[in-house]
Structure 1
Amino acid sequence: MEKFVKINFLGAAGVVTGSKFLIETSEKNILIDCGMFQGLKELRELNWKNLPVEVATIDVVLLTHGHLDHVGYLPRLLKQGFTGKIISTAPTLAIAEIILKDSAKIHEEEAYKANKEKFSKHNPALPFYTLKDAEKTIKQFEVEIENRWIALSEHISFRFQYNGHIIGATFIEIDINGKRFVFSGDIGRTNDYLLNDPKRPEWADFLFIESTYGNKLHPEENIEDVLSEIISETIHKKGNLIIPSFAVERLQTLMFILWNLYKKNKIPNIPIFVDSPMGNNVLDVFKRFPKWHKLPMEDYNAMCNHVNIIQSYKETWETIDDKRSKIIIAGSGMVTGGRVLTYLQQLIDEPATTVLLVGYQAEGTRGRQLQNGAHELRFFGKYYPVKATIKSIESLSAHADQQDLLNWVSNIKNVPENVYLVHGEPTSLNAFKVKLKDTYHWNATIPKLTDVSKVLL
């Protein structure tokens, strides 16, 4: 009998967000990641549609890491009939729990606000999922350790391999009838402030690799010097520096760099406020899993003591009313929601304000609009004029750039039967396809959303 594997590209195909790859075999059906789409409205609307597959037949979900665009669709998967285990490393599941609970609260709050203030066209506006949905999902979590092969059935096994990027992140290797399928997840960078270098795969018959920065090299800039200069300008203008930040990794990295700058006398003792309930919880994950990062505990404690960690919405408003020049780090990183919107609502129309973007800004997000020079920003049902100075530091990204991606695959001893380029926008995907061909003579495929690929074993 002919043996084959069917690969369903349910997300992160031709776009960066919404990672979901369903592997159908005669023994098990495996979903790799289960993320939400972010950014463009037509993508976000896909989140509300059921997946075009029989969800009840999915046996297991394997997660590469805990970011929203890799785990945020899980509660909806359960609503569509999934009853299996959700498996990953301990830190990833700890992060996923934080993110699901936090996003559920945000969904509930936004629905409540939209109904109260009547700025939604939906009547009533409903949360994407509730805290109860998130808690039900978390009950299906199961921890497996990194770097150990786990049997799923007679001819299928998998393992997680350390991948940098964020705490707990891995790439996933799946052996099916002697063929190896490698899912990169999001690949971290070498010489990261907080994390060890990513491991690299040594064999891949079928490779699924992210291409977020497939067309770019991160700029060679001295982050400490750039940050010092921006902070100096902020103090000179008697203004505020607002840094929209991803709660996982970026926020902790920023805290570490700012603490280091102060320790080295490169910046004065300017007040630093961290306003991200989710980010605070992630700090606890760093404490719980010291083997997954390289930050010594004494540095961790000193770094936490150096900043003001905001605990309540009341403190958010007290921080806004504080007339001193200050640094505010608040979620979310792409300005799609979270506490940062409250600060921008009050401060983005002031020329003394600087907004610093410190990571990838997906197409269609407010962060991308600011990066592209938008003169106004819409949120909470209104338009707010942008008079603040907008700056970016791309070199703080947690994603591998083109050269990092090429290095990551350099240990693969065979020529893959197929390379699928995922998790990238069209320009990045096409540029990386050409680069792989030029460098390794590998042919690559760029799948589209809902494509199905049949692979003979």
Structure 2
Amino acid sequence: MEEQHHQLQLKFLGGAGTVTGSKILLKTQKHQVLIDCGLFQGLKELRQLNWKKPPLPVPELDAVILTHGHLDHCGYLPVLVKYGYDGPIYATEPTRDVTEIILRDSAKIQEKDAQEANRYGYSRHHPAKPLYNMHDVERTLPLFKVRPQEKWIELNEKIKFRFRNSGHILGSSFVELECHGQRFVFSGDLGRRQPLLMHPPALLQQTDYLVLESTYGDKLHSSTSPYTEIADIVNHTYSKGGTLVIPSFAVERAQELLLILNTLRYDKSIPAIPIYLDSPMGINVTELYLNYSDWHSLSAAECRTIMHDVHVIRDFEHSLHVLDTHGPKIVIAGSGMVTGGRVLYYLEQLLGDKKNTVLLAGFQAPGTRGNLLGSGSNDIKIHGRYYTVYAEVKQIGSLSAHADQADLLWWLSNLTKAPKRIFLNHGETQASGTLRLKISDTFGWNVTIAKMGANYDL
């Protein structure tokens, strides 16, 4: 029994002490399974980790299991493949499709950024190269093995797992895994108790070991309706005669924004202001919502509402003409943390005028342009140049797809007995520290804040 006790080990290779780069390695004496394979974003010292040799023996990896398709959970997969991984990548069907869209976009942006860095000479590397390219993505996609939620999947004679709905984005799941008689749960990103578009998270009733995200472990989301908050910001910008630009995540956030804005227009809570969706990825993900009606809570009519009377911009050449149209307008463009994508073009044009508004409608990781804008920075660096911020910057938390502290405690309260140990990951130091104390005080459970690179014997 003692030998069995020591053959299990968890190692956090990302998403520990930070909200990005999620990678958790489960090791036994014979097998190694990676839960999530995310890209580091934000602070330079984190981004540089993407360029280092993978922190695990890639040839010994049996499988990768993805909780969902956000870049900070799937964006490192092509790097793993570049280093020789050719095993299975398990995911739900919508997660596979979302990941394909995300990875193609990521490779495209990296290739474009490298080209521009070489053209304008603002990279220290000569020549600048992408972390991975479209060819690497094409080699990654055939490795996916699609599996349904709630059905147990045997990896080998000692390990089986299943996906369960996490209520975060389309296809998102937490992972229940049984290994040598011990049950593990990896929350991935957990959604809210009452998501706007998703079904609520499935209830967790028992586990021996829990790895729990803590993004908002120290916060409670605004109780103000996002409809009210967004209507106020739109009407304020309209009264100034300006443009409202919303940096947006392509998955879920863009769809939420379109549903809210079109509902507000229909109710006449805001004027019939033109809406532009300048996010090829957002357009593709919106089409997935129509294909996967069982995976979200929207009716067919609400799905149609999302794209009603929206100007869809697929080509960058068309982006160049959006701002030529006179009068107030709303532009939704990627990326959500202003780390790249089409939104940079709009900010270059719009930041210098106080009649315009930038609305940050999601979590902004430290070190990202979105975080700098939300923190009141006077100027923002884009494509090697600094732009002074005269436009108003607004930030709302009511649209967050992450559980807040109360949601996390509610989810934990469904456990019928205490886990042997809870590991908190995917959170900044204050968030995870606050949540650790709250769980300890509320339930009296054993809680550890995961450290990057640390091995935990179980």
Please tell me the TM-score bracket, short chain as reference. over 0.9
Whole-angstrom distance in 2 between the partners of 1:82 and 1:70: 17
| Structure-2 residue corresponding to 1:273 | 276
- Find out whether 1:72 has 2:75 as its counterpart: yes
Moved more, 241-250 or 185-194: 185-194
Q: How does 1:34-433 map to 2 (within 5 A)?
A: 34-433=37-436
One-letter amino acid matched to 2:40: F
Post-superposition Cα deviations, 1:67-114, rounded to whole Å, max 9, x if no partner, equal: 000000000001122110000100000000000001101110110111
Whole-angstrom distance in 1 between the partners of 2:110 and 2:425: 28
Structure 2 counterpart SS, 1:323? coil
Gaps of 5+ in 1: none
Structure 2 counterpart SS, 1:419? strand
Gaps of 5+ in 2: none
One-letter amino acid matched to 2:137: A
Q: TM-score, normalised by structure 1?
A: 0.98
Post-superposition Cα deviations, 1:158-180, rounded to whole Å, max 9, x if no partner, equal: 00000111000000000012110
For the 8 Å contact 1:27–1:153, the answer to whether it is kept is: no
For the 8 Å contact 2:21–2:37, the answer to whether it is kept is: yes
Post-superposition Cα deviations, 1:384-438, rounded to whole Å, max 9, x if no partner, equal: 0000000011111100000000111111112111110000000001000000001
One-letter amino acid matched to 2:85: F
Whole-angstrom distance in 2 between the partners of 1:176 and 1:158: 9
One-letter amino acid matched to 2:343: V
For residue 285 of structure 1, report the CA deviation from its aligned partner.
Answer: 1.1
Post-superposition Cα deviations, 1:53-76, rounded to whole Å, max 9, x if no partner, equal: 211100100000000000000000
For residue 344 of structure 1, report the CA deviation from its aligned partner.
Answer: 0.2
One-letter amino acid matched to 2:263: N
| Structure-1 residue corresponding to 2:33 | 30
Moved more, 215-224 or 61-70: 215-224
For residue 264 of structure 1, report the CA deviation from its aligned partner.
Answer: 1.3
One-letter amino acid matched to 1:349: G
For the 8 Å contact 1:18–1:38, the answer to whether it is kept is: yes
One-letter amino acid matched to 1:322: T
Whole-angstrom distance in 2 between the partners of 1:24 and 1:209: 18
Q: Number of residues paired by the alignment?
A: 455
- Find out whether 1:15 has 2:18 as its counterpart: yes
Whole-angstrom distance in 2 between the partners of 1:160 and 1:27: 23
Whole-angstrom distance in 2 between the partners of 1:423 and 1:13: 6
One-letter amino acid matched to 2:430: T
Whole-angstrom distance in 2 between the partners of 1:294 and 1:19: 27
Whole-angstrom distance in 1 between the partners of 2:275 and 2:55: 46
Whole-angstrom distance in 2 between the partners of 1:281 and 1:441: 45
For residue 263 of structure 1, report the CA deviation from its aligned partner.
Answer: 1.5
One-letter amino acid matched to 1:110: D
Whole-angstrom distance in 2 between the partners of 1:454 and 1:78: 28
For the 8 Å contact 1:10–1:51, the answer to whether it is kept is: no
Structure 1 counterpart SS, 2:307? helix
Whole-angstrom distance in 2 between the partners of 1:429 and 1:141: 32
Moved more, 260-269 or 118-127: 260-269
For the 8 Å contact 1:245–1:358, the answer to whether it is kept is: yes
Whole-angstrom distance in 1 between the partners of 2:411 and 2:342: 36
Whole-angstrom distance in 2 between the partners of 1:355 and 1:24: 45
For residue 191 of structure 1, report the CA deviation from its aligned partner.
Answer: 2.1
- Find out whether 1:2 has 2:3 as its counterpart: yes
For residue 222 of structure 1, report the CA deviation from its aligned partner.
Answer: 2.2
For the 8 Å contact 1:28–1:153, the answer to whether it is kept is: no
Whole-angstrom distance in 1 between the partners of 2:32 and 2:294: 32
Q: TM-score, normalised by structure 2?
A: 0.98
For the 8 Å contact 1:206–1:419, the answer to whether it is kept is: yes
Whole-angstrom distance in 1 between the partners of 2:65 and 2:227: 37
Whole-angstrom distance in 1 between the partners of 2:349 and 2:270: 26
One-letter amino acid matched to 2:78: P
For the 8 Å contact 1:29–1:58, the answer to whether it is kept is: yes
For the 8 Å contact 1:34–1:71, the answer to whether it is kept is: yes
Moved more, 290-299 or 344-353: 290-299
For the 8 Å contact 2:263–2:305, the answer to whether it is kept is: no
RMSD: 1.0
Whole-angstrom distance in 2 between the partners of 1:308 and 1:165: 27
One-letter amino acid matched to 1:54: P
For the 8 Å contact 1:217–1:403, the answer to whether it is kept is: yes
